[in-house]
Chain A
Amino acid sequence: DVKVTQSSRYLVKRTGEKVFLECVQDMDHENMFWYRQDPGLGLRLIYFSYDVKMKEKGDIPEGYSVSREKKERFSLILESASTNQTSMYLCASRTGWGNTEAFFGQGTRLTVV
């Protein structure tokens, strides 16, 4: 059974903290993605990676960075957390492009206070 695992379901952090969200997939997929999900806005792409150490900005990369040192792991970093980064964060992976299925983790609900 394929699996994308996010390290935390719920996280509470203080404004200004550096926050790490971890995602691991066991399917040997080349491509991994970080989205944030907000009511009425759907899923917005923050960053994606198409290979180890390769990354591209999505639609809302400001305030975020990513790291992909190993194929199975893709980390999202909030350099200095702010209250407007309170959201649900979803990680996904897939092989290839186009018509291939993306597999999602269960999400991390991050609250910044």
Chain B
Amino acid sequence: GNSVTQMEGPVTLSEEAFLTINCTYTATGYPSLFWYVQYPGEGLQLLLKATKADDKGSNKGFEATYRKETTSFHLEKGSVQVSDSAVYFCALSYNQGGKLIFGQGTELSVKP
């Protein structure tokens, strides 16, 4: 079946460090891929998305590239801030009747 696997957390970084959160998926065909972020005490909100192979989604300094050959959608940011501390979820969805399927979530903690 379709699934999403993320690297386990928590991930703890110092401010201005480089961030990578790995995400791989198992799916048939060509799903759309998403990263959602959940700040403390809040619901999820869309961070970025990519809808076809080799697309790069970007927002707020975060980037992720849809890699069909490695079935991956890793999240990266060149210099994290304390305000980036949150839980990050990778997800996929199909165009026809598609559920939104989430990974386990990765908690990021950024220290000053």
Contact = CB atoms under 8 A, between A and B. Distances in A.
B43 A97 contact: no
B97 A97 contact: yes
Given A42-B105, A43-B89, A104 B98 contact: no
B60 to A, nearest CB: 15
12 contacts: A4-B43, A33-B99, A42-B102, A42-B104, A45-B101, A48-B99, A50-B97, A97-B96, A98-B95, A101-B46, A104-B36, A105-B43
Given A43-B105, A48-B99, A102-B46, 17 more contacts: A33-B99, A37-B105, A42-B104, A44-B102, A45-B99, A50-B97, A58-B99, A92-B44, A97-B93, A98-B95, A98-B96, A99-B95, A102-B36, A102-B100, A103-B45, A105-B43, A107-B43
**A interface, how many residues as a size bin?**
20 to 34
Given A45-B99, A58-B99, A98 B49 contact: no
A86 interface: no
Interface residues of B, number: 25
A106 interface: yes
Contacts of B102: 35, 42-44
> Interface SS of chain B: helix, strand, loop or mixed?
loop
> Interface SS of chain A: helix, strand, loop or mixed?
strand
A92 B100 contact: yes
Interface in B18-65: 32, 36, 41-46, 49, 51
Interface in B63-107: 89, 93-105
Contacts of B46: 101-102
Given A106-B42, A107-B43, A98 B101 contact: no
A90 B103 CA distance: 15
A98 B43 contact: no
